[in-house]
Chain A
């Protein structure tokens, strides 16, 4: 039987019922060339320490559950391959800039509220009337917002954004990109309510275009770009409203 090589994982632990401060726990995990960090964490929970808590589901980079800091970088642990770190140890921590519930589980309540705050749905009077068939939308119109609709809500961008770290009220990259996605959808007929939300002080204007959100986004949504475009749109809307108070919407 061949000697199995191992790799060390140093994992952030914190239990609200037991710990005053978090600490790190080291585990030696079998090293397999095509394993991802998530596989290693699952192995630990199954075989060594069932008390390790974390979120995961699809393991294919589409559900957004398994975001964690891996050696200080926000990553989907289902897409971070052990072979890219081996033989060095891997440090796993909960996503930065979030309150920690337990171990690698962060509190998502604020994030969910921020998503909701940008009115992320089609606003249109006849939206529930299917008698006319589908709304027409050309491939070129779809291309205007398609990229911004790809967000899996993994929150890596919130970890990468220093504004979020500094100011928890900042609406943040994913939520603002989502608002922009609806503003750019040709089918939407919102007359300004969403724009008003996007124009708030803690919304688009909180962003200073650091751009790290776009760098870490696993789905290439480019939230930084979306926010700058939203700023331009917001400025346009603001001046239109000054000139024509009633007719500014879209």
Chain B
């Protein structure tokens, strides 16, 4: 086996959170060497596909308290309030820092950054770079990392296992795709920033790489995966492809109509619609600017009532942007026009865009505290793969891009500090584990003969059960079926066979490993969903239709059980409530400002 690659801090994942963490460490101490292991070149990380914007309080009409309240109520009170508090406080400085690093934020005429309205937010605070915010953020961060000579990238290195010695995480094994060699990458601390796992579902905005690798690796290392049952359906994805049509299209005034041309959201407690020509349209926290979980649920209700349009890709409603006019569309949401034209064959300036809810984001993930630390010493996590929890049962749009910066930086600083304080690692013990892992991959994949299961068969079956049984509305029987099906798929996966037994750039091997990760993630999701007998945020049970704060105002934790590898053990931990006691979650004109923080106003 090749020599281990030894650095001070190892970051797994090169998206927004990973890059931000790398910069934080590189800045903290120029003597610290940072290794960044990513299965793709950083510019390909899925942060690149985010469109609408990133939230931070910056304008005089806004307040930190409002952003905090919007986030907590948006989370249906499952967010940890200390996390939300510090997130909102640190967000503006992080966003200004990214601006300084070159992010081309869209501007107001006076040269200050512009903000737009977004779902579930009382005031406009979503910074944007036209409608390619994630793209610009990712490239700005990546290009900034090129300034620091203490960041070493290991591009196209596919991480397979965390190396934990004596209760402390000191590295990972990673397949160098070019050669197929398993490398040992060691660090005095490790940060996982591998993103979410949308590819567990068949219809998703997510790209190919979103397969939950880091979540699964942490899970197998013994860390709990928190709140896995909470997955977000974005209300407006293109039918068929699932390509994302940003919430910004509604922030700029776009409306949703059913097959009768009705703005159907008015029937679902989201306030009263204003006419699109009214200067006050769109109204914040109202109608189309309600929170994502509710909007996706409304679609299902409309479908049940027969008000949706049937297409060859399933039922849809329509997003109407025509009243915005060509100039506004080309200036504020040009990418939406491009995507609708290319992939739906409609020009939104003149035509309605067919849309339907599409799986988009995982609120749940690796259990961390507000410093990004997990239950394993030296192991940190940040970004979509982590669950602090900032987003609780439902995330507000434009909070996650900011989350990458705030918690990426925090995890970076935490990991740097840990590395400085824990200088020694046991290289021999770690190398022995790595050797073990190399042999496992060789035995179970590359050199395995026999095997009757094709990857695509297992993947399709997983997709089918997740879509049918663990979608927007769930209930006990179908969740149990999903649990059983996934157990069976776990067995079938042991029998997987590859066409490709070679080493150089073997993407069938990585597809198989990714399928394994996805099965792990899916299993935690359905078991946690089965155990949560209430409806809260994005987890809706038709058999338990109400929120139950008494029994379930707590985070679920899914732990890997070696004795029953397909059936996680579900446990719980309390939600941190500080100043905002749980209240009714309301949207519409005078929504959500009945329950306020107890002490003085923060701004």
The one of A45, A115, A127, A137 that contacts B111, using a Cβ cutoff of 8 Å:
A137
Q: Does A72 contact B (CB under 8 A)?
A: no
Give every chain B residue within 8 A of A57 (Cβ-Cβ): 40, 44, 46, 207-209
Check A152/B43 contact, CB under 8 A, given A17-B502, A50-B455.
yes
Beta-carbon contact of A50 and B498 below 8 Å: yes
Check A145/B104 contact, CB under 8 A, given A60-B343, A101-B505.
yes
Check A124/B139 contact, CB under 8 A, given A59-B241, A60-B339.
no
| Count of chain A to chain B residue pairs whose CB atoms are closer than 8 Å in the complex | 159
The one of B58, B109, B499 that contacts A138, using a Cβ cutoff of 8 Å:
B109
Q: Does A97 contact B (CB under 8 A)?
A: no
Beta-carbon contact of A116 and B241 below 8 Å: no
Beta-carbon contact of B102 and A121 below 8 Å: yes
Beta-carbon contact of A127 and B100 below 8 Å: yes
How distant is the Cα of A113 from the Cα of B498 in the complex, in angstroms?
Answer: 34
Beta-carbon contact of B107 and A138 below 8 Å: yes
In the complex, what's the smallest C-beta–C-beta distance from A156 to chain B, in angstroms? 14
In the complex, what's the smallest C-beta–C-beta distance from A157 to chain B, in angstroms? 15
In the complex, what's the smallest C-beta–C-beta distance from A67 to chain B, in angstroms? 11
Render B75-114 as a binary contact track against A, CB cut-off 8 A, 1 for contact: 0000000000000000001001101111011110111110
In the complex, what's the smallest C-beta–C-beta distance from A38 to chain B, in angstroms? 10
Beta-carbon contact of A17 and B503 below 8 Å: yes
In the complex, what's the smallest C-beta–C-beta distance from B13 to chain A, in angstroms? 14
Give every chain A residue within 8 A of B136 (Cβ-Cβ): 149
Beta-carbon contact of A50 and B499 below 8 Å: yes
In the complex, what's the smallest C-beta–C-beta distance from A26 to chain B, in angstroms? 17
Beta-carbon contact of B207 and A58 below 8 Å: yes
Beta-carbon contact of B147 and A121 below 8 Å: yes
Beta-carbon contact of A146 and B504 below 8 Å: no
In the complex, what's the smallest C-beta–C-beta distance from A214 to chain B, in angstroms? 18
Render A93-121 as a binary contact track against B, CB cut-off 8 A, 1 for contact: 00000000111010010001001100111
Q: Does B309 contact A (CB under 8 A)?
A: no
- Measured CB to CB, the nearest residue on chain A to B241 is A59
Render A121-154 as a binary contact track against B, CB cut-off 8 A, 1 for contact: 1101011111001111111011001100110110
Q: Does B552 contact A (CB under 8 A)?
A: no
Beta-carbon contact of B243 and A112 below 8 Å: no
Give every chain A residue within 8 A of B110 (Cβ-Cβ): 136, 138
- The residue in B99, B110, B455 that gathers the most chain A C-beta atoms within 10 A of its C-beta is B99
How distant is the Cα of A116 from the Cα of B41 in the complex, in angstroms?
Answer: 14
Q: Does B69 contact A (CB under 8 A)?
A: no
The contact sample of 24 A-B pairs, CB cut-off 8 A, is: A46-B456, A49-B499, A50-B498, A51-B499, A53-B505, A56-B208, A58-B44, A58-B46, A58-B48, A59-B207, A59-B208, A112-B41, A116-B146, A120-B143, A122-B144, A126-B100, A129-B100, A130-B96, A130-B100, A134-B58, A134-B105, A138-B111, A149-B136, A152-B48
Q: Closest 6 A-B residue pairs measured CB to CB?
A: A136-B111, A50-B499, A51-B500, A46-B456, A57-B207, A58-B207
Sample of 7 further A-B pairs with CB below 8 A, known A115-B146, A136-B110 = A45-B511, A53-B506, A57-B208, A60-B244, A129-B100, A139-B106, A178-B143
